[in-house]
């Protein structure tokens, strides 16, 4: 199989294969430790109750099975992977700006966090144990996607012209070439180092959300996609790979060694400044009331939304097995003919706003005197919007008419005009942009913006002070799991709150 080089020798597999700890054992340990530490009348303060409920109800034990091959057949007993994961989620839920080192201290200071993690109070893990666990979730030699040695970077990314405006679309030719390449290779899945994380996330977390009915109609899901900047450092760090400088040669073309090879510089349209880091492209379940994320992908900061979508749409389609995605909702930055082609090919109906800046909206291919408005409505030579005059379902075309008094035509009943999806799927999509259905479907697109915002604002995604792409993926998947668990709690609140009397019997 094509893809990354698996690690085998990178990790010293010194720890014995962990034994699967059934979730009921975890629950029993929590009860026992709560009773012995706080006495029989445990009272959880209000802030801690939802945390307890979420962790009590979420069975993470499958992570142990997933990691079996990454441990040794002998050696000291390994720490329960499910507890390490639970503890990391607890960090994100309570102190998202904390690093692992501080968290290990926090566990000592705050016994309730250690108990809810599933650690015996007299045997807390150290920092290295957490990092060993993360390493095992990333089955590639390299903690970055690209090699550190790279050609010298030239020039700066383009910026948007107006406030809030994204950088101009990369040349449509580039998107088109990528689409053609991806369509030729779409049935060959290339393994990615983040696949292990996705497998766990899909089989244990997203599947629960599906079971709770939180994703929408599984046989016809609406997905939304959008990119967001992840600022990792103020400046890119690199050093020369040669000694030209020392030999008095000021300018050379030798590659440099970049400490964060997957990051570069891009334009942040919301903050209106250049930044160094990643472009996180996320696909979410658009019909989900809880704006639940489905597939994350880290790209270099300079990458454009349209390019990221092409890669993400194909990778997602290859990996997502819980339902059929039949609509993809995207903003005008994705308005490129080849993206319509790709999505149709993937069996998804594109819902994409027309980019008003695009010159391609003005001239119709079929009649040179008719222009098309940003909503996809034909404009007659006198500048009036033509009126819809029925749909011919057999010929898959819509009829438009201008009244005779407009004067744009000498025809007895006024000017008529036909639009056909096959003529231009971009200007005349299957679901017309001026229809009620379009409005209903497309208004859910902002779900992806709320999801991305939740990760960045509430879960402080950018506060991770990580140097490796591996750790950024851990953080992103961790936060995504929290988002799903939050949704479970909110949607099952009445049911789950009844557990209070089991976990803390004297609490009202
Ligand atoms: Zn050199
Ligand atoms: Zn007219």
Give residue 232 CA to ligand 1 midpoint distance, Å: 28
Give residue 489 CA to ligand 2 midpoint distance, Å: 56
Q: Which of 22, 18, 129 is nearest to 84 (CA)?
A: 129
Give residue 377 CA to ligand 2 midpoint distance, Å: 12
pLDDT tens-place string over residues 170-212? 677 889 999 999 888 878 888 999 999 999 999 999 999 999 9
Beta bridge partners of 221: 325
Give residue 250 CA to ligand 1 midpoint distance, Å: 8
Distances (CA, A) of 429 to 148, 227, 353: 44, 23, 11
Give residue 405 CA to ligand 2 midpoint distance, Å: 8
Residues 266-284 have a mean pLDDT of 91
pLDDT tens-place string over residues 30-61? 999 988 888 766 667 777 899 999 999 999 99
- C-alpha atoms less than 13 angstroms from C-alpha of 75 in its C-beta half-sphere: 12
Q: What is the per-residue pLDDT for 202?
A: 98
Q: Which of 156, 294, 164 is nearest to 236 (CA)?
A: 156
Question: Which ligand has its closest atom nearest to the C-alpha of 370?
Answer: 2
Q: Is 159 helix (H, G, I), strand (E, B) or coil?
A: coil
Question: Which ligand has its closest atom nearest to the C-alpha of 404?
Answer: 2
Q: What is the per-residue pLDDT for 115?
A: 95
Distances (CA, A) of 245 to 125, 148, 248: 46, 20, 5
Q: What is the per-residue pLDDT for 7?
A: 54
Q: Is 328 helix (H, G, I), strand (E, B) or coil?
A: strand
pLDDT at residue 1 is higher than 70: no
Question: Which ligand has its closest atom nearest to the C-alpha of 246?
Answer: 1
pLDDT at residue 507 is higher than 50: no
pLDDT tens-place string over residues 225-237? 999 999 997 777 8
Please, what is the average pLDDT of the chain? 87
Give residue 192 CA to ligand 2 midpoint distance, Å: 55
In angstroms, rounded to a whole number, what is the distance separating the alpha carbons of residues 120 and 127?
16
Q: What is the per-residue pLDDT for 365?
A: 56
Confidence of residue 18 (pLDDT cuts 50, 70, 90): confident
Question: Which ligand has its closest atom nearest to the C-alpha of 371?
Answer: 2
Confidence of residue 114 (pLDDT cuts 50, 70, 90): very high
Q: What is the per-residue pLDDT for 508?
A: 40
Q: At what angle do helices 469-491 and 127-136 cross, to 10 degrees?
A: 90
Give residue 411 CA to ligand 2 midpoint distance, Å: 11
Q: What is the per-residue pLDDT for 324?
A: 95
Residues 134-149 have a mean pLDDT of 88
Question: Which ligand has its closest atom nearest to the C-alpha of 253?
Answer: 1
Residues 400-414 have a mean pLDDT of 87
Give residue 143 CA to ligand 2 midpoint distance, Å: 62
Question: Which ligand has its closest atom nearest to the C-alpha of 248?
Answer: 1
pLDDT at residue 168 is higher than 60: no
In angstroms, rounded to a whole number, what is the distance separating the alpha carbons of residues 64 and 78?
10
pLDDT at residue 442 is higher than 80: yes
pLDDT at residue 77 is higher than 80: no
Q: Over pLDDT 70: what percentage of the chain?
A: 90
pLDDT at residue 272 is higher than 70: yes
Neighbours of ion ligand 1 (CB under 5 A): 242, 244, 252, 254
Give residue 142 CA to ligand 1 midpoint distance, Å: 25
pLDDT tens-place string over residues 329-384? 999 999 998 999 999 999 999 999 988 766 555 555 556 688 888 777 889 989 89
pLDDT tens-place string over residues 488-505? 999 999 999 988 888 876
Give residue 370 CA to ligand 2 midpoint distance, Å: 10
Q: Over pLDDT 90: what percentage of the chain?
A: 53
Burial class (CB in 10 A: 0-12, 13-18, 19+), 427: buried
Measured over the CA atoms of residue 377, residue 378, residue 384 and residue 386, the dihedral's sign is negative
Q: At what angle do helices 127-136 and 100-109 cross, to 10 degrees?
A: 130
Question: Which ligand has its closest atom nearest to the C-alpha of 405?
Answer: 2
């Amino acid at each position: 199989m094509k893809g990354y080089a698996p690690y085998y020798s990178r990790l010293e597999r010194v720890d014995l294969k962990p034994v699967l700890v059934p979730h009921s054992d975890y629950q029993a340990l929590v009860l026992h430790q709560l009773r012995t530490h706080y006495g029989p009348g445990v009272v959880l303060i209000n802030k801690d109750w939802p945390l307890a409920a979420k962790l009590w109800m979420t069975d993470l034990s499958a992570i142990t099975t997933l990691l079996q091959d990454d441990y040794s057949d002998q050696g000291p007993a390994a720490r329960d992977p499910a507890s390490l994961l639970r503890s990391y989620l607890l960090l994100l839920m309570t102190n998202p700006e904390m690093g692992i080192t501080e968290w290990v201290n926090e566990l000592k200071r705050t016994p309730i966090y250690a108990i809810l993690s599933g650690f015996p109070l007299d045997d807390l893990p150290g920092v290295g144990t957490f990092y060993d666990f993360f390493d095992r979730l990333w089955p590639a030699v390299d903690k970055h996607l690209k090699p550190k040695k790279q050609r010298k970077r030239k020039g700066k990314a383009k910026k948007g012209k107006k406030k809030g405006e994204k950088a101009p679309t990369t040349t449509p030719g580039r998107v088109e070439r990528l689409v053609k390449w991806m369509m030729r290779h779409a049935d060959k899945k290339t393994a990615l180092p983040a696949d292990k994380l996705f497998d766990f996330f899909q089989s244990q977390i997203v599947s629960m959300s599906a079971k709770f009915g939180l994703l929408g109609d599984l046989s016809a899901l609406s997905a939304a996609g959008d990119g967001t900047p992840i600022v990792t450092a103020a400046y890119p760090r690199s050093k020369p790979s040669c000694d030209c400088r020392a030999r008095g040669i000021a300018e050379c073309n030798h590659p440099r060694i970049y400490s964060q090879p997957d990051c570069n510089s891009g334009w942040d349209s919301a903050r209106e400044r250049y930044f160094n880091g990643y472009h996180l492209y996320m696909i979410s379940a658009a019909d989900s009331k809880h704006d639940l994320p489905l597939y994350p992908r880290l790209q270099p900061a300079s990458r454009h939304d349209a390019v990221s979508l092409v890669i993400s749409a194909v990778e997602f389609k290859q990996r997502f097995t819980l339902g059929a995605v039949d609509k993809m909702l995207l903003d005008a930055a994705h308005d490129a003919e080849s993206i319509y082609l790709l999505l149709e090919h993937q069996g998804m109906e594109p819902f994409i706003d027309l980019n008003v800046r695009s010159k391609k909206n003005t001239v119709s291919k079929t009649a040179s005197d008719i222009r098309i408005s940003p909503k996809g409505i034909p404009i007659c030579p006198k500048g009036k919007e033509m009126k819809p005059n029925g749909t011919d379902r057999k010929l898959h075309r819509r009829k438009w008419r201008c009244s005779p008094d407009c004067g744009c035509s000498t025809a007895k009943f006024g000017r008529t005009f036909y639009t056909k999806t096959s003529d231009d799927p971009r200007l005349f999509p299957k679901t017309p942009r001026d229809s009620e259905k379009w409005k209903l479907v497309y208004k859910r697109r902002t779900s992806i913006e709320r999801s991305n915002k939740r990760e960045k604002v509430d879960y402080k995604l950018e506060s991770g002070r990580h140097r490796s792409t591996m750790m950024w993926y851990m953080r992103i998947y961790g936060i995504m799991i929290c988002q799903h668990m939050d949704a479970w709690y909110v949607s099952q609140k009445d049911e789950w709150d009844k557990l209070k009397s089991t976990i803390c019997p004297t609490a009202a």
